[in-house]
Chains A and B, each alone.
Chain A
Amino acid sequence: MENITITLDGREVSGHRGMTVLELARESNIYIPTLCDDEHLTPIGACRICLVEDERTGKFLASCVTPISSGMVVNTQSPKVLKHRRTIIKLLLASHPDSCLVCDKGNWCQLRKIATDLGIGRIDFQHLPNWTAVEDVNTFIERDLSKCILCAKCIRACQELVVVGAIDYYLRGFATRPATFNDQPLESSECTFCGTCVAMCPTGALMEKVKTYRGAAGKSVSTTCPLCGCGCSISLEIKDDKVIRVRPLDGVNKGTLCVRGSYGLNFVHSRNRLTKPLIKQNNGFEEVSWDEALGMVASRFSKLEEYNPSSLAVLGGTRCTTEENYLLQRFARCTLGTNNIDSDNRLFRTGLLNKDDYFDSDSIEHADVIIVIGGDPSCSSPIVEYKIKRAVKYNHTQLILIDPRQTKLSAFAQLQLHPRIGSDVALLNALANVIITESAVVSGIRDHKGFRDLTKILGEYPPQTVEEITGITADNVFRLARLLASAKNLVIIYGTGVTQHIDGLDRLRAINNLIVLTGNQGKIFALQRESNSRGAIKMGITPNLLPGYQSTTNPAIRNKFEEAWGVKLPTMAGLTAMEIIQQAKAGNIRGLYIVGENPAKSYPNSTLVQEALQALDFLVVQDMFHTESAQLADVVLPVTSFAEKEGTFINFEGRVGLLQKAIECVGDSQPDWQIILQLAQKMGRPFPFTSLQEVRDEMERWVTSSHGIDNVQLWAVKYQPRQVDLDFPLALLTGINLFGIGTSTRSDKSLLLKGFSDQHAIEINGVDFQELELIEDEEIKIVSPVGSIRAVAKENSLLPKGVLFMAGSTVNRLLDIDLNPESKSPVMKVCHVRLEKV
């Protein structure tokens, strides 16, 4: 690209065409103050603080919107420039309150910083204050318009980054302010309370709502958000060893965040945190020392292990760091001697598309076609949703949704297909059928060994026939198939609406077929539920894989690990998560070690799971809180939160996010990795690690080369109709709420989030709602073959007849344990129920 040279403060510097003076100055380490500029936002030159002087013309230019041009002689610091800057700051301060001393923004205020830099104290202009009442009706954000400088950062963040557009300038002149549509309060607007505007605000105009004055943070620590699989980079602002504020950084999230990250992380300081190890006594739990608790765990596990290592099992890891996962699986295999190790990954994903590639999610924004199948990223992975919306809004990307429900993304979709529940495989096969019959396949694929079998099967799925199964018109199938085949930059995103069905594995295979046929390998993302779901699988928290996706059944691989670890590895195939529960109920699993999971609430058929946990001889739960599962434990070990430890998470892209210790451990809690190391020691088989770095060094030995599963495979999968039990005619779809995650153990500890996460509402389609003569908010009983719950009925006319929706984990009490025979993943997305009036 062509270089342009200009003179900047007497220095010759060059940049590329299109660069602004401000960008070039930053690159050349010349500081120009800014208020309305942000690297993620389109510059608009609103604040004029970045004025510089063009010495040739004597003109003053806003450097953030002035492109460099050849021969420019720019002075950023001339006395005239400084004079103008001072005037601008004084004018801003003339309508700004003198409340810096008690403003929570404190030293982080950019207006104050620039005023200080320019030596401006009290100003001699007449004050023209813009007194307005502080708006604080909503739970999350407080707005003091008297401090607003109209830089439009909040407006641009909302429109350009989060693509909600809840606010824009309203009125003109002195009356101008950012306002919602019809000037309604935020809570009745489109606002999702993601907090991005609050983070961007250069002054104290937008602040998170807090009950008392908190002041400015003394330090900030960058780390990774633990509240979903996006792995957003965040900065924790710390004061007096407390996290007082959370701010987005520039990782996968690019300066944005969601309501969970912005306002949900105060679970760290919850009063309900476990601070001491607990041992169950006859009448409740008793606080004991670490030595006693670990001693008890070690002796009970040792006894059970002597009896039979296969009677022991380990569950957990998706919320732990990658290093901890490595230690946990090594603990299970080497110390306990069992392959019975699994996590709630079994509930959310299947192993097919585990290829260990890093796939930058920026590709979402550059895609020309995005297909979202069975996913609601607006709730489960907000950062992914922002990227999709940015692509559609600013890059003309075509968005196609395949989901029985309408979601928030529907407003952005060019095409929405709502297949009947359970018919996805037929639809996906019909798409593959069209792609093949129209010869739109990638060259060379016809020679693939699976191609012939696939075409044979696909013959049964012409779009016209499939219409009867799926309810999707043949026209739409043709339209989507052609779009798929012609896409230059395709991205497919799938969620638990694919994996949590009985044919989840087949659905994934059918999706994979489409990708292989069109030559788009790797361009697929799974929405990840937990912060380290991927790290857990990569490190071998799964019965059949050792670290680095290496098979436990391969003797050569086992030998390699046995040599390195100096133990004999178990050869018996391990049990998966739901099998562990079933075998616990049957009495074959007798000791269970649960790390950061809450199966009593998060697994299907909660009643049965609780019985299974009660049937155990010995249950250890390692958690931050006294969860439903911990209530059933014999020993409860308190762990630190993400803010109190170091380590790494692997997000949905495969990006490694770093955790840094921001505050001291709460009470006597310890990081998972230290607990595991001590347990191994107590059991007489210590690990050779004294630091996390040593763990990391060993762990990386196993995963340096990619051991991913070959994706270039074609699967001949068939659609299998399922019988509907006439006693339970309604299909209840499950999902997640933006304001709560998992079993809400953590998110409910944030009172802000709890107020919004309605775990007891059931959305009922208009037809059934009318037929049952329900009234809005009426309490109703939902009955399934295994249980019943009560919930508050809400009409949702967008749902098709016969379909209900409920977010949260309460619904798990209705689900039976119904496993895919191959992946052993339970059905969790849909439950057949009937409604009864109370």
Chain B
Amino acid sequence: MDATSKLIDLTEINSVVDKHKEQRWPLIPLLQDIQEKFGFIPKESVPIIAQKTGLFPTQVQGVISFYEQLYSEPRGKKIVRVCRGTACHVKGGSTILKLVKQQLGIREGQTTADLEYTLETVACIGVCALAPNVTVGNQVYGQMNPKKTESLFRENGG
């Protein structure tokens, strides 16, 4: 985390913030723009955003921490989503999740140290016929089993 923080260019944050100077309720679009640029909202940007929007840093932090889709930590290049929907559950989705966790060495919501993968769970991805399902990036991997899980990240360069 700290290694990545150092890469954050404050002038870039400022230029994103300045784009929203004239906007009436700029906070959320501004946060989305920052996230677009950096993949997440760096902590260092919060006081700058607060100052420009006339808010307290705690208020900005409150908004970031409220919305699921705003991230205050760096995200992996690929988002791994293990399905916990009913069909996948019945077909052993929770075991798959456990294995994925072991494989990546992280828990739900976390990102691997090399910033390759972020692990999330999802309620249903709509292909219950293939349960249990895992998605990596935009690719769906159906009918998962322990063996396939093991090869999954090797295949993806993990």
Query: Which A residues fall within an 8 A CB radius of B?
Result: 159, 165-172, 179-182, 393
Interface stretch of the complex, out of B51-59, B102-110, B137-145, B148-156: B51-59
Residues on the B chain within 8 Å of A182, using CB: 43, 61
Residues on the A chain within 8 Å of B58, using CB: 165-168, 170, 179-181
Q: With an 8 A cutoff between CB atoms, is B86 at the interface? A: no
Q: With an 8 A cutoff between CB atoms, is B46 at the interface? A: yes
Give the docked Cα–Cα distance between A171 and B61 (Å). Answer: 9
Give the docked Cα–Cα distance between A165 and B62 (Å). Answer: 12
Give the docked Cα–Cα distance between A154 and B1 (Å). Answer: 32
Given contacts A181-B46, A182-B43, contact A165 B59 (CB under 8 A): yes
Contact yes or no, B65 A165, CB < 8 A: no
Which of these, B43, B47, B54, B56, contacts A168 with CB under 8 Å? B56
- Closest Cβ of chain B to A658, distance in Å, is 36
Interface SS, B side: helix
Given contacts A180-B58, A181-B61, contact A169 B66 (CB under 8 A): yes
The residue of chain A having its C-beta at the shortest distance from the C-beta of B68 within the complex is A172
- Closest Cβ of chain B to A578, distance in Å, is 45
The residue of chain B having its C-beta at the shortest distance from the C-beta of A165 within the complex is B56
Residues on the A chain within 8 Å of B56, using CB: 159, 165, 168
Give the docked Cα–Cα distance between A169 and B47 (Å). Answer: 16
Contact yes or no, B59 A172, CB < 8 A: no
- Closest Cβ of chain B to A23, distance in Å, is 27
Task: Indicate the size class of the contact surface on chain B.
Answer: 10 to 19
- Closest Cβ of chain B to A450, distance in Å, is 43
Give the docked Cα–Cα distance between A159 and B47 (Å). Answer: 16
Given contacts A159-B56, A182-B43, contact A172 B65 (CB under 8 A): yes
Residues on the B chain within 8 Å of A165, using CB: 55-59
The residue of chain A having its C-beta at the shortest distance from the C-beta of B54 within the complex is A393
Residues on the A chain within 8 Å of B47, using CB: 181
Q: What are the interface flags for B32-73 relative to A under an 8 Å C-beta threshold, 1 for contact and 0 otherwise?
A: 000000000001001100000011111101100110000000
Give the docked Cα–Cα distance between A171 and B57 (Å). Answer: 14
Residues on the B chain within 8 Å of A166, using CB: 58
Interface SS, A side: mixed
Kindly list the 7 A-B residue pairs having the minimum CB-CB distance in the complex, ordered from nearest.
A165-B56, A168-B58, A168-B62, A181-B57, A169-B62, A172-B66, A171-B65
Residues on the B chain within 8 Å of A169, using CB: 62, 66
- Closest Cβ of chain A to B69, distance in Å, is 12
- Closest Cβ of chain A to B117, distance in Å, is 24
Residues on the B chain within 8 Å of A159, using CB: 56, 59
Give the docked Cα–Cα distance between A168 and B54 (Å). Answer: 15
In this complex, the member of B54, B58, B59, B61 whose beta carbon has the largest number of chain A beta carbons within 10 angstroms is B58
Residues on the B chain within 8 Å of A179, using CB: 58, 61
20 more A-B contacts (CB under 8 A) besides A159-B56, A168-B58, A172-B66? A165-B56, A165-B57, A168-B56, A168-B59, A169-B62, A169-B66, A170-B58, A170-B61, A170-B62, A170-B65, A171-B65, A171-B66, A172-B65, A179-B58, A180-B58, A181-B46, A181-B61, A182-B43, A182-B61, A393-B54
- Closest Cβ of chain A to B62, distance in Å, is 4
Give the docked Cα–Cα distance between A683 and B14 (Å). Answer: 75
Give the docked Cα–Cα distance between A179 and B57 (Å). Answer: 11
Residues on the A chain within 8 Å of B66, using CB: 169, 171-172
The residue of chain A having its C-beta at the shortest distance from the C-beta of B56 within the complex is A165
Give the docked Cα–Cα distance between A393 and B56 (Å). Answer: 11
Give the docked Cα–Cα distance between A171 and B62 (Å). Answer: 7
Residues on the B chain within 8 Å of A171, using CB: 65-66
Residues on the B chain within 8 Å of A168, using CB: 56, 58-59, 61-62
- Closest Cβ of chain B to A512, distance in Å, is 34
Residues on the A chain within 8 Å of B59, using CB: 159, 165, 168
Residues on the B chain within 8 Å of A393, using CB: 54
Give the docked Cα–Cα distance between A172 and B61 (Å). Answer: 12
The residue of chain A having its C-beta at the shortest distance from the C-beta of B72 within the complex is A182
Residues on the A chain within 8 Å of B55, using CB: 165
- Closest Cβ of chain A to B148, distance in Å, is 34
The residue of chain A having its C-beta at the shortest distance from the C-beta of B43 within the complex is A182
Give the docked Cα–Cα distance between A182 and B55 (Å). Answer: 15
Give the docked Cα–Cα distance between A251 and B56 (Å). Answer: 27
Residues on the B chain within 8 Å of A172, using CB: 65-66
- Closest Cβ of chain B to A197, distance in Å, is 13
- Closest Cβ of chain B to A411, distance in Å, is 9
Ordered by A's residue number, 17 sampled pairs between the chains whose C-beta atoms are within 8 Å are: A159-B59, A165-B55, A165-B56, A166-B58, A169-B62, A169-B66, A170-B58, A170-B61, A170-B62, A171-B65, A172-B65, A179-B58, A179-B61, A181-B57, A181-B61, A182-B43, A393-B54
Residues on the A chain within 8 Å of B46, using CB: 181
Q: Which of B90-115 contact A (CB under 8 A)?
A: none
Give the docked Cα–Cα distance between A181 and B43 (Å). Answer: 10
The residue of chain B having its C-beta at the shortest distance from the C-beta of A173 within the complex is B66
Residues on the A chain within 8 Å of B62, using CB: 168-170
Give the docked Cα–Cα distance between A182 and B47 (Å). Answer: 11
Give the docked Cα–Cα distance between A181 and B65 (Å). Answer: 11
- Closest Cβ of chain A to B27, distance in Å, is 13
Give the docked Cα–Cα distance between A180 and B57 (Å). Answer: 9
Give the docked Cα–Cα distance between A169 and B56 (Å). Answer: 12
- Closest Cβ of chain B to A478, distance in Å, is 26
Give the docked Cα–Cα distance between A159 and B59 (Å). Answer: 9
The residue of chain B having its C-beta at the shortest distance from the C-beta of A411 within the complex is B51
- Closest Cβ of chain A to B95, distance in Å, is 27
Give the docked Cα–Cα distance between A211 and B91 (Å). Answer: 56
